[in-house]
Amino acid sequence: MRDRKAKIVATVGPASSSPEQLRALFEAGVDMFRLNMSHGTHDDHRARFEAIRALEKETGKPIGILLDLQGPKLRVGTFADGPVTLQNGALFRFDLDPKPGDVSRAYLPHPEIFAAARPGVQLLLDDGKIRMEVQEHGKDYAVGKVITGGVLSERKGVSVVGAVLPLDVITEKDRRDLEFGLGMGADWVALSFVQTAQDLHDARKLIGGRALIMSKIEKPAAVDVLEEIVEASDAIMVARGDLGVEMQPEEIPAVQRRMIKLSRQYGRPVVVATQMLESMIHSPTPTRAEASDVATAVYEGADAVMLSAESASGKFPIEAVTMMSKIVANVEKDPEYKRLILNSHPGSRATIADAICASLGTVASVLPLTAAATYTTSGSTTLRAARERPLVPIFSLTPSIETARRMSCVWGVTPVVIRDIEKVSEIVAFATEVAKSNGVAKDGDIMAVTAGMPFAQSGTTNLLRIFQVGGV
């Protein structure tokens, strides 16, 4: 058991790929590992999959794996004489002519941009360092006026602000990566550059039930239909890096807060990501602002916080995880955190399952509960219980290792694999055993369990049992 409720997701890369490093990261506090398919080969990731599964077997603790797809990347072509300098106020043309560009034009092999362009739409290049506004366009070109100039070199990324691009959220590369990752047993799939709820529906047809889907919110178009996307997703990632390219920095905190609130409302786990401890790529300690950033996400109720380059390619991956874990644990000891969590209940829906789990939250606030346990096959009972944010440990008891792994990014949950259950008395017995073995319950303590009957039928949460440990 961790000494905190918010979870830690860490990206695996060159600095953290060896079995020894993965074990050290797990012991430092990692709950789920992220494999970024934008970098590395399938052979690289296969070795990481196998090392994580070996670590899981060795520790006996379910460990989730998040397969993060690259998504559609939009890039300019090449330049005949190297980088060009674009001056403020100048006009610059993008077209489908593959010839190397110059200071007045460049190849842009993405007709979908021209299809969506219209006067007023902004084109951002090189992570927003260069900004243009579309003045005119056709089916195979667009002319932009440079608002913020700078040096543009070949293959730099392009973002479009003010239009929804007709893009397939899963590219051909993503399809290959997806089949590889699902074949290896990935637990979650992160979709990059989601723009609409339909993107989720399309992806689910490909993925089926082989993994859960985490939507990365990286574009203003997604923010415009955020509630629809949250409802269609299994989880949300607040991907502040790319989102910060297309939105103004001062807008991001409010958007992050809204994402966390909506995700909680719909019972979807939410991960806050990007640049959380950025300076720890090169330094053994974070800045005070970074520590506050991690703390803010926890205070707001995020299920998990994530490390990217800090753990994938930084000089201090173990220190970064250790520091993040300390920050989270320290926030959760603050009485103000407990007050915020208790006062931020999103309200329950008029279903039996939600009523049962809302009752669990009430019981945890009224009785001196020491722990709660859920018995679940799909994870839905556990997700509903975690949504209530009872300030006691939640043990997710499940006969499915796949479900246990998927719960590794959910607030307050310790997943435990047990055998199939046939009686309520067995759930009570297993819950008692697990709570005692983890040192959170003793004879005379009060616990609660939730489950769905008939057992093994997904989405039927209808049982709440309160009992005294060691009682008859």
CATH number of the domain bearing residue 362: 3.40.1380.20
For the chain, what is the mean pLDDT? Answer: 94
Last residue of a domain, one of 141, 161, 181: 161
Task: Determine, yes or no, domain membership for 130.
Answer: yes
Task: Determine, yes or no, domain membership for 373.
Answer: yes
Task: Determine, yes or no, domain membership for 16.
Answer: yes
Last residue of a domain, one of 161, 191, 210: 161
Is the domain of 45 the same as that of 179?
Answer: yes
Task: Determine, yes or no, domain membership for 461.
Answer: yes
Q: Which of 403, 342, 393 shows the shortest CA–CA distance to 372?
A: 393
Last residue of a domain, one of 142, 161, 180: 161
CA–CA separation, 383 and 410 (whole Å): 7
Is the domain of 213 the same as that of 285?
Answer: yes
Query: Can the peptide bond before residue 454 be classed as cis, meaning omega within 30 degrees of 0?
Result: yes
CA–CA separation, 9 and 276 (whole Å): 12
Is the domain of 34 the same as that of 144?
Answer: no
Q: pLDDT tens, 368-407?
A: 999 999 999 999 999 999 999 999 999 999 999 999 999 9
What is the pTM assigned to this prediction?
0.92
Q: What is the pLDDT along the chain (472 residues), one digit of tens a residue?
A: 899 999 999 999 999 999 999 999 999 999 999 999 999 999 999 999 999 999 999 999 999 999 999 998 899 999 999 999 999 999 999 999 999 999 999 999 999 999 999 999 999 999 889 999 999 999 999 999 999 999 999 999 998 988 888 888 899 999 999 999 999 999 999 999 999 999 999 999 999 999 999 999 998 889 999 999 999 999 999 999 888 888 888 999 999 999 999 999 999 999 999 999 999 999 999 999 999 999 999 999 999 999 999 999 999 999 999 999 999 999 999 999 999 988 887 877 778 888 898 899 889 989 999 999 999 999 999 999 999 999 999 999 999 999 999 999 999 999 999 998 888 899 999 999 999 999 999 999 999 999 988 776 766 788 899 999 987 5
Q: What secondary structure, in 3-state letters, does the chain show?
A: CCCCCCEEEEEECCCCCCHHHHHHHHHHCCCEEEEECCCCCHHHHHHHHHHHHHHHHHHCCCCEEEEECCCCCCECCCECCCCEEECCCCEEEEECCCCCECCCEEECCCHHHHHHCCCCCEEEECCCCEEEEEEEEECCEEEEEEEECEEECCCCEEEEECCCCCCCCCCHHHHHHHHHHHHHCCCEEEECCCCCHHHHHHHHHHHCCCCEEEEEECCHHHHHCHHHHHHHCCEEEEEHHHHHHHCCHHHHHHHHHHHHHHHHHHCCCEEEECCCCHHHHCCCCCCHHHHHHHHHHHHCCCCEEEECHHHHCCCCHHHHHHHHHHHHHHHHCCHHHHHHHHHCCCCCCCCHHHHHHHHHHHHHHHCCEEEEEEECCCCHHHHHHHHCCCCCCEEEEECCHHHHHHHHHCCCEEEEECCCCCCHHHHHHHHHHHHHHCCCCCCCCEEEEEEECCCCCCCCEEEEEEEECCCC
Range of the domain at 99: 84-161
Q: pLDDT tens, 86-109?
A: 999 999 999 999 999 999 999 999
Task: Determine, yes or no, domain membership for 301.
Answer: yes
Is the domain of 239 the same as that of 150?
Answer: no
CATH at 95: 2.40.33.10
Is the domain of 203 the same as that of 278?
Answer: yes
Task: Determine, yes or no, domain membership for 215.
Answer: yes
Q: Is 51 within 8 Å of 21 (Cβ atoms)?
A: no
Strand partners, 73: none
Tell me how many domains the chain contains: 3
Catalytic residues: 34, 75, 216, 274
Is the domain of 308 the same as that of 199?
Answer: yes
Q: What is the pLDDT of residue 25?
A: 98
Is the domain of 111 the same as that of 176?
Answer: no
Strand partners, 448: 372, 466
Task: Determine, yes or no, domain membership for 340.
Answer: no
Task: Determine, yes or no, domain membership for 77.
Answer: no
Amino acid at 225: V
Is the domain of 193 the same as that of 157?
Answer: no
